[in-house]
Structure 1
Amino acid sequence: MEILHERSTIAQTVAAAEEFIGLFHRENPDAGDPRARLAAVRAELAETGTYRHTPEELAHGARVAWRNSNRCIGRLYWNSLRVRDRRELTGADEIAAECVGHLREATNGGRIRPTITVFAPDTPERPGPLIWSEQLIRYAGYGDHPSVTVGDPRNRELTEALRALGWPGGPGTPFDLLPLVVQGCDDKPRWFDLPADAVLEVPIEHPEDDHWTDWGLRWHAVPAISNMCLEIGGIHYPAAPFNGWYMGTEIGARNLGDTDRYNLLPVVGRRLGLDVTNDRTLWKDRALVELNRAVLHSFDRAGVTIADHHTESRRFLTHIDREERKGREVGADWSWIVPPISGSACPVFHRTYEDRPLTPAFAHHEGARQRAEGRDLV
């Protein structure tokens, strides 16, 4: 039974490799004869059970994975993704150091650059490394009671796991930076503090109300997703942190506004003098707009790249037009593409999309999830 399963897995990898190599050569006609490359890939798979992408294949596969991300509205610039090839790295120390390097390069003084860093892949001999942190930059969530959290409630479990790993905790503010949690190949997870110069944060201020500064609100500039697996042609890269730039609503409507996150709408509503006891006054809507205005104003004032949801909606339709002219259909998850505020005022609202998976892709890798659920933290 094990031999049959192994043959089936290799056959699946061969099929996925053939599909990707075909796509790569169709979209890169100067890359040479695909038949020779396919023969080399098949031979390598037969001998080792895996194969190694060329640097050009890796770069194109990572970019196409962004192009295929059905939940991302910002795919217009998919082909500009900067790919940092770090596949030779397997240890936690060197991976953590390269994650810091990723943040410094992606931050670029505030002119955010879409970037991905790809570490060692899974192989038949051993799984690749993992980054437990959902994003490279996260804020701590402290609290002993489910309804009381200082900081970001989304990160309570990660914060508790870090404490179990020996992290002493931060000063206890709502915006304490969490260390990065990395598990190298054949190793246990370890934590690494992020240097201050690797994390650019933007103070959140309102364009007309100076008293907002008293709240001490801020958010980090680079949204670098780090717990998804990059899948290219049957090869899985479980540690491949990647970033674009923020759309304002991700911060203002979700991170700061959601009731299970920072839940700032009541605070903003009261500051605006609104009746927060009656939903029919639309105080939540008015507070939400002001919170999002503050985010956009603050990032612009700091000279940090950020998109607004109206502009990004138009860009997404431009992306669809460009792709369709090239004979490629664009999949999308409507519930993610439509912004969380002013949905019907954005052109993406008035369309339907087919949410069908394509590869290469970013995915929550089942193997990595199983390892996470069974992790030994101490």
Structure 2
Amino acid sequence: MSRSFIDSRSSSDPLRRRLRRLSPSERAEEANAFLDLYFREGDADPSDRASRQREVRRDLERHGFYRHTTEELAFGARVAWRNHGRCIGRHVWKALDVLDCRGLTEPDAVAAQTFRHLREADNGGDIRPTISVFAPVTGDQTPVWIESRQVAQYAGYLETGRVVGDPANVEMTRICVSLGWRPPSTRSHFDLLPLLLRDAFGRRLVYATPEGSVREIEIRHPHYPEFASLGLRWYAMPLVSDMILTIGGIDYPCAPFNGWYMATEIACRNLLDTYRYDLVNAVARCIGADTRDPLWKDDVVLELNRAVIASFRDAGVRLVDHHQASAQYLDFDRAERANGRMPSGDWAWIVPPQSSALCPVFHHAMTDLKDVPNFYRSRATDGADLSLSRVTEERGRILTRADNWRRRWRDWRRREI
């Protein structure tokens, strides 16, 4: 495994700027609520709850943090996925394979495990939902974390006013090149970027992706051989690596996780969005679309999705179409309600970008409770409103009023910081 680095420390820690700001009382409240949930739903002896809560309370008072057991970590990671309102594929949240990697604290070890995760979660094409959880933030100490948005992603080169590759990764590509990464001698639209880490001192390190770690699918159309001339391909599995896992008041900034793709993520967004590959006109030429027809772009979307679905099927790699995913989301919704839980859902993220009104989720009311445990990218965006929702708890009038007061006070305080 090759790597290189430069010291990019500054007076402002980029990870610290992203972490949620919790007061000691808020952290204790989240820890206590998580343990209540764990002993209520998890595979744990209820008689141990009081002693475990005393132990955690003592650690928080003395050190400002506590350490989850392996069982608590696994349960918390699965619940974080269950609570994350932007994911349509949560019907298999219980099957998430949680790898406790907290003992791996050196950048080389973190990179090696991340690439191992990439290979093993592929599972011969029968992709297995997996998360590798590395060291948490402990007091003033921040651990190694991954700066790459995804472990597998394509470079974007800015050349004479145009972008070759993925425009979303132009800056990331520039950074990797400045750190010593050498792109292929013949640059293409689909060159895999290396993995970009930051060590505990804030230094950037770049690791070349080992040969054979990333399965890529060539996109071919079953009825339009002209598709081959586009040279399209995409990596088989999204391994998201820039989100922070928060469990019981403890943040894990390095917790790469994967599911499998929904076809529209690749076809409608990655390949067709104007700020990404913007292939609408190129695909239209391949299928002979009549651009005088007001619905010609709809034909492009349909045929590119058909190509992606057929290509993944022919390669034997798991992928779901948007109609299947919508039905699965409603199964998840019903199961959660049957278990006395209010499911979280962000409508704008759950409803697929193709045939939206034909998908049952389009007509389904949703509320994103932004409950914890959860995943977030930054306290300035999706992490700003994460808190204990307590929406399905029997709290009583006085406790409910106290919850509302604390929430208003917390929101005001965070706006003032």
- Provide TM-score, normalisation by structure 1: 0.92
Correspondent of 2:31 among 2, 5, 17: 17
Residue identity opposite 1:298 in structure 2: S
Give the SS at the match of 2:158. Answer: strand
| Larger deviation, residues 239-248 vs 209-218 | 209-218
Aligned length: 360
Q: Is 1:211 aligned with 2:226?
A: yes
Cα gap change, 1:8 to 1:188, in 2 (>3 Å) = closer
User: How many Å apart are 1:169 and its aligned residue?
Assistant: 2.0
1:211-245: CA deviation from partner (whole Å, max 9, x where unpaired): 31222111001101100000000000001000100
Correspondent of 2:364 among 351, 357, 373: 351
Distance (whole Å) between structure 1 residues aligned to residue 261 and residue 320 of structure 2: 6
Distance (whole Å) between structure 2 residues aligned to residue 218 and residue 9 of structure 1: 47
1:316-360: CA deviation from partner (whole Å, max 9, x where unpaired): 001000000000011111111110000011100111211220110
Gaps of 5+ in 2: 1-20, 383-417
User: How many Å apart are 1:257 and its aligned residue?
Assistant: 1.1
CA contact (8 A) 1:238 1:368 kept: no
| Larger deviation, residues 267-276 vs 290-299 | 267-276
Correspondent of 2:199 among 168, 184, 190: 184
Q: Is 1:325 aligned with 2:338?
A: yes
CA contact (8 A) 1:130 1:368 kept: no
Distance (whole Å) between structure 2 residues aligned to residue 187 and residue 153 of structure 1: 26
Distance (whole Å) between structure 2 residues aligned to residue 124 and residue 88 of structure 1: 17
Q: Which residue of 2 aligns with 1:314?
A: 327
CA contact (8 A) 2:155 2:189 kept: yes
CA contact (8 A) 2:38 2:44 kept: no
User: How many Å apart are 1:9 and its aligned residue?
Assistant: 2.7
Correspondent of 2:354 among 341, 362, 367: 341
Q: Is 1:195 aligned with 2:210?
A: yes
1:237-259: CA deviation from partner (whole Å, max 9, x where unpaired): 00100010000000011101111
User: How many Å apart are 1:274 and its aligned residue?
Assistant: 2.0
1:74-101: CA deviation from partner (whole Å, max 9, x where unpaired): 0000010001111112221111001001
Written as runs of structure 1 = structure 2, the 5 A alignment for 1:129-208 is 129-144=144-159, 148-170=162-184, 171-208=186-223
User: How many Å apart are 1:29 and its aligned residue?
Assistant: 5.6
Q: Which residue of 2 aligns with 1:361?
A: 374
1:122-173: CA deviation from partner (whole Å, max 9, x where unpaired): 111311221010001010000145x611000011110011112121223310
| Larger deviation, residues 53-62 vs 255-264 | 255-264
Correspondent of 1:274 among 278, 289, 293: 289
Residue identity opposite 1:347 in structure 2: P
Q: Is 1:246 aligned with 2:261?
A: yes
User: How many Å apart are 1:367 and its aligned residue?
Assistant: 9.2
Distance (whole Å) between structure 2 residues aligned to residue 270 and residue 144 of structure 1: 24
Cα gap change, 1:127 to 1:365, in 2 (>3 Å) = farther
| Larger deviation, residues 75-84 vs 162-171 | 162-171
Q: Which residue of 1 aligns with 2:250?
A: 235
Residue identity opposite 2:247 in structure 1: I
Residue identity opposite 1:142 in structure 2: Y
Cα gap change, 1:8 to 1:307, in 2 (>3 Å) = closer
Distance (whole Å) between structure 2 residues aligned to residue 36 and residue 200 of structure 1: 47
1:269-290: CA deviation from partner (whole Å, max 9, x where unpaired): 12222233x4x53111101100
Distance (whole Å) between structure 1 residues aligned to residue 60 and residue 125 of structure 2: 43
CA contact (8 A) 1:179 1:194 kept: yes
Distance (whole Å) between structure 1 residues aligned to residue 306 and residue 121 of structure 2: 25
Q: Which residue of 2 aligns with 1:283?
A: 296
CA contact (8 A) 2:151 2:239 kept: yes
Residue identity opposite 1:346 in structure 2: C
Distance (whole Å) between structure 1 residues aligned to residue 44 and residue 199 of structure 2: 37
Residue identity opposite 1:248 in structure 2: A
Q: Is 1:64 aligned with 2:79?
A: yes
Cα gap change, 1:289 to 1:42, in 2 (>3 Å) = same
Q: Which residue of 1 aligns with 2:273?
A: 258
CA contact (8 A) 2:156 2:169 kept: yes
Written as runs of structure 1 = structure 2, the 5 A alignment for 1:62-101 is 62-101=77-116
1:24-63: CA deviation from partner (whole Å, max 9, x where unpaired): 1110263342111101111112222110000010001000
CA contact (8 A) 1:106 1:114 kept: yes
Give the SS at the match of 2:268. Answer: helix
Distance (whole Å) between structure 1 residues aligned to residue 380 and residue 262 of structure 2: 31
CA contact (8 A) 1:238 1:365 kept: no
Give the SS at the match of 2:191. Answer: coil
Displacement over 6 Å in runs of 4+:
none
Gaps of 5+ in 1: 1-6, 370-378
- Provide TM-score, normalisation by structure 2: 0.83
CA contact (8 A) 1:122 1:238 kept: yes
CA contact (8 A) 1:115 1:242 kept: yes
Distance (whole Å) between structure 1 residues aligned to residue 374 and residue 336 of structure 2: 17
Give the SS at the match of 1:159. Answer: helix
CA contact (8 A) 2:224 2:287 kept: no
